[in-house]
Structure 1
Amino acid sequence: MGKWYSKFVLASIIVILIVGLSACESNKKAVEDNIGIIEGDQNESTIEMEIPDKTFKVLHVMSYHTPWEWTETQLQGFKDGLGQDIDVEYKVIEMDAKNKSNIEWLEEIGAQARGVIDTWQPDLVFTSDDEAQEFVVTHYLNTDIPFVFCGVNKLPEEYGYDKSNNVTGVLEIEHFAESLNLLLEVAPDIKSVAVVFDDSPIWGPVEARMREQLHRFPEIEFPIWDTIYTYDEFQSKMLEYQDQVDAIGLIGIFNYKNENNKNVHYRDVLRWVKENSNLPDFSYWYDRASYGTLAVVSVSGYEQGLSAGKKARQILVHGVSPADIPMDHTTKGQQLISLARARTLDIDVSAKVLLSTEVKTMYEWER
């Protein structure tokens, strides 16, 4: 009797366990049928929800201008990240800060952008690059309108974003080591580098991050870190560098003032460099290679906008608070070589480099 009863109890327990496990698997499948689990990208939504039946109003305040590869790809990336399955009405404001960097203009255009926000009342504001943060977003911290940024060089706390519940976005971290390594593949004899900036405040954090990585290049000296204010000064300095260093980092080249106190367009700056400098150079943005900078590992404007658009989708479609969406930065870079510039400098670029990079065979002004 005792043995039979023990076997009966054991069999009953096994049956209960099997039924329980089957029920768990059924429940798990039911949950998985209703939740889209996306691995990897934290910007992706984890819950598939019904798309709201409304037209969202999105205001894009770009710090710079269009047409320009940087701003165009940012906006296209944002639209793709937000998704083509929702109805969106866009308005775009161009602050044109690369061509008009004086404080009076930035305050004026910033006030105009804020006027549009106050009257149009967008569902979300997408801001790109630093000037839009300083002259627009900082006026709306901890308000009801959500803001998503991209292309920001300064630290979030410099704008008060670390203490704001309605702002999130994507920081722009330049590919310094990658760009310099690419330059060294093309011109391996480089032993000293000059780095130049204009007077924009966005370059302070960039310079700091570059300096933090200098230990990775113990064989190279960086004796010159110049902030340059006028076009005449830039031309004079560049001619001096020819006998002082082996290469140049052309970082900030937008705010050089001419004799009329107007910014000289960066395309004209780079054309002058091509005609007057014999030093190999590097930078961080795609179109620099198009205008003659020899080596570039580019920050992707599209990836910046795409990540920002995914964050905006979480806010508009899924109702997530910006405060619950981490600020981050993109890591994907694109290698470019100006073969036109290499030919001008009489540099032979190896087949290995040419096969692993995007190659610009002509200067843009020759097209």
Structure 2
Amino acid sequence: MRHRTRITPMATGLILLIFSIIPTPTPGETVPKVMLLHSYHASNQWDLSVEEGVRDALADEYYIPDENLILKSFYMDTKRRTSPEWKEDVGKMAREAIEHLAPKVVIALDDNSQKYVVRRMPAADNAFVFAGVNRDPEEYGIISNREKPGGNITGALERERFGESLAFLRRIAPEVKRLALISDASPTGTPVVQRIKSLAPEHGAHVTASLQTNDFTAWKAFVKKAQTQADALVVVVYHTLKDDTGTHVPSEEVLAWTTRHSTLPDMGFWPWAVSDGLLCSDAISGYEQGYYVGTITAYILGGQSPGDFPVASPRTGQPCINSARAEALGITIPDHLTKTATVFSTMAALKNPPPTTD
């Protein structure tokens, strides 16, 4: 039986390291260690899909966690806890956990782990393999050459499939030209918003309204106003919003409110966004990101230098449709699209929905 290893936030906000049961190596045998460093939390759907890809890739290269590999996870929880103080504190805890475990490879997921951990450990003895990075890694000072990184760091970029997703949306709603673009103000959202604004004209689209905010009240006002300003709503990420009391609003609640109060066809860039209720996406595959960096990790464990692997951007997409959202919008999905896409039929529920539109 395999036991997954977790570092999970406790109720007090501290980090708990839970060690799994590892077989005792035979004399002379060394079990390699790998740490999965997550910027987010254990139940985050992106993290789950990336980890699945990592584990499958390692297994395909004959590295089996809890058999001939020690694999541990650390969760920074920076989507739900967004203060600069928390990020600094948890970054320090993560660096200490890496020093304590002394893994041969750290797989560092998403931007906050680069900012608060990887770039703070330039002289580390272990290799770093990053995934899910939305900003240019050069901004963090962790590499200077993507083709030949050199040193102890390489990885995979996460790039939204904007052109592909827009083309997919237009197969469902051909009239879409004007886009309302909304995102939280997280490190993930900012570079995506910038790229979409730059790329939209190349795809015959125009961003007529745009907002980045962590204020749920401002988010609501924008969605309502956008109904007369655009043909479609483009939702990037929605995980760091807070209400008027400063309390974090769960991402599912944000999207449930959004789809309840918008009659615009909408699109996102990740499968979980369509699962939560957006109409469609030619989505980024977290699994493909994980499989790619998991394979690189296996090669590093086998003796190859991380700096020999160029930084890449896996481009395999996952077409997704939410049939319940289509029905709510009065849109008929062509049969040929449902045959090749992942089809979701449920939407995130709005907690305590009001009897009238709020």
Q: How does 1:1-367 map to 2 (within 5 A)?
A: 53-83=29-59, 85-86=62-63, 87-163=68-144, 165-218=151-204, 220-317=205-302, 319-365=303-349
Q: Distance in 1 between matches of 2:122 and 2:59?
A: 26
Does the CA contact (< 8 Å) of 1:297 and 1:336 recur in 2? yes
Q: Distance in 2 between matches of 1:133 and 1:262?
A: 26
> How much has 1:231 moved relative to structure 2?
0.4
CA shift digits 1:310-365 (9 cap, x unpaired): 11111111x11111111111010000111100111111111122222111122254
> How much has 1:67 moved relative to structure 2?
2.0
> How much has 1:228 moved relative to structure 2?
1.8
Q: Which runs of 5+ in 1 are unaligned?
A: 1-51
Q: Distance in 2 between matches of 1:234 and 1:365?
A: 18
Q: Distance in 2 between matches of 1:205 and 1:156?
A: 12
Does the CA contact (< 8 Å) of 2:105 and 2:127 recur in 1? yes
Q: Distance in 1 between matches of 2:216 and 2:328?
A: 23
Compare 56-65 and 221-230 and name the one that shifted more: 221-230
Does the CA contact (< 8 Å) of 2:282 and 2:319 recur in 1? yes
Q: Distance in 2 between matches of 1:182 and 1:328?
A: 24
Does the CA contact (< 8 Å) of 2:188 and 2:237 recur in 1? no
Change (3 A) 1:105 1:167: same
Amino acid aligned to 2:92: A
> How much has 1:68 moved relative to structure 2?
2.9
Compare 293-302 and 203-212 and name the one that shifted more: 203-212
Amino acid aligned to 2:35: L
Does the CA contact (< 8 Å) of 1:253 and 1:269 recur in 2? yes
Q: Distance in 2 between matches of 1:301 and 1:342?
A: 24
Q: Give every structure 1 segment of 4 or more consecutive aligned residues whose post-TM-superposition deviation is greater than 4 Å.
A: none
Change (3 A) 1:202 1:291: closer
Instruction: Report the TM-score when normalising by structure 1.
Output: 0.81
The residue that corresponds to 1:37 in the other structure is none
> How much has 1:189 moved relative to structure 2?
1.9
CA shift digits 1:80-99 (9 cap, x unpaired): 22236231112211111111
Q: Distance in 2 between matches of 1:306 and 1:81?
A: 5
Amino acid aligned to 1:309: G
> How much has 1:53 moved relative to structure 2?
4.3
The residue that corresponds to 2:13 in the other structure is none
% identical equivalent positions: 32
CA shift digits 1:278-308 (9 cap, x unpaired): 1111010111111110011111111101100
Q: Distance in 2 between matches of 1:73 and 1:201?
A: 20
Amino acid aligned to 1:204: T
Q: Distance in 2 between matches of 1:336 and 1:289?
A: 7
Instruction: Report the TM-score when normalising by structure 2.
Output: 0.83
Q: Distance in 2 between matches of 1:57 and 1:354?
A: 42
Number of aligned residue pairs: give it.
313
* Greater Rg by CA: 1
Q: Distance in 2 between matches of 1:179 and 1:65?
A: 27
> How much has 1:54 moved relative to structure 2?
2.4
Q: Distance in 1 between matches of 2:106 and 2:191?
A: 25
